[in-house]
């Protein structure tokens, strides 16, 4: 896995096409870019990201399929030293909605829709029954059809 990640690489990756498609269930999907995740190689869930509202100087990359996260700019560098870390995925079992937490600031939190307490979820990369695995398959077909 490539652990070196520079601002130049982040800027280069920001030029990759975003992946955005309508899924067969009618919802739209736009998590990542047309780049394979350095850890799990999945395309569509990984990409360079900004956090303009909560943390405007933050620049990072993240994969919502396996939890590979790496900050390269902004206040989280103090916590991570710029090294990759494993993010934690949480789910609201009522609404089937997900959210993501850094391990050094872990809290379950509550669902923004129904206010139930979130639970820890398994990453799709470790759970073939995760609904994101179906989305991954749809992305592969979408890219093949282009
Ligand atoms: Zn990944
Ligand atoms: Zn909920």
- Predicted confidence at residue 1, as pLDDT, reads 55
What is the whole-number distance in angstroms between the Cα of residue 1 and the centre of ligand 1? 11
Is 2 part of any domain? Answer: no
- Predicted confidence at residue 112, as pLDDT, reads 94
Ligand 1 (ion): residues with CB under 5 Å are 37, 39-40, 63, 65-66, 68
- Express each pLDDT in 21-56 by its tens digit: 999 999 999 999 999 999 999 999 999 999 888 889
Is 82 part of any domain? Answer: yes
Is 115 part of any domain? Answer: yes
Is 65 part of any domain? Answer: yes
Is 1 part of any domain? Answer: no
- Express each pLDDT in 124-146 by its tens digit: 999 999 999 999 999 999 999 98
- Predicted confidence at residue 15, as pLDDT, reads 97
- Predicted confidence at residue 146, as pLDDT, reads 85
Is 52 part of any domain? Answer: yes
What is the whole-number distance in angstroms between the Cα of residue 21 and the centre of ligand 2? 24
Q: Which ligand is nearest to the CA of 95?
A: 2
Q: Which ligand is nearest to the CA of 70?
A: 1
- Express each pLDDT in 72-102 by its tens digit: 999 899 999 999 999 999 999 999 999 999 9
Domain count, the chain: 1
Domain boundaries, position 32: 7-144
Q: Distance between CA 78 and CA 71 in Å, rounded?
A: 10
Q: Distance between CA 134 and CA 142 in Å, rounded?
A: 12
Tokens of 146: 């282009």
What is the whole-number distance in angstroms between the Cα of residue 112 and the centre of ligand 1? 25
Average pLDDT, the chain: 94
- Asked if residue 2 has pLDDT above 70, the reply is no
Is 107 part of any domain? Answer: yes
Is 63 in contact with 42 (CB distance < 8 Å)? yes
């Amino acid at each position: 896995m490539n652990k070196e990640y520079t601002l130049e690489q982040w800027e280069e990756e920001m030029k990759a096409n975003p992946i955005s498609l309508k899924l067969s269930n009618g919802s739209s999907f736009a998590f990542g870019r047309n780049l394979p995740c350095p850890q799990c190689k999945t395309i569509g869930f990984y990409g360079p990201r900004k956090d303009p509202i909560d943390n405007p100087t933050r620049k990072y990359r993240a994969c919502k399929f396996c939890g590979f996260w790496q900050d390269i700019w902004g206040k989280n560098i103090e916590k991570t030293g710029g090294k990759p870390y494993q993010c934690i995925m949480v789910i609201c079992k009522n609404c089937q909605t997900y959210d993501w937490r850094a391990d050094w600031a872990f809290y379950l939190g509550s669902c923004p829709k129904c206010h139930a307490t979130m639970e820890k979820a398994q990453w799709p990369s470790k759970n073939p029954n995760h609904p994101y695995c179906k989305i991954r398959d749809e992305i592969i077909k979408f890219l093949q059809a282009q």
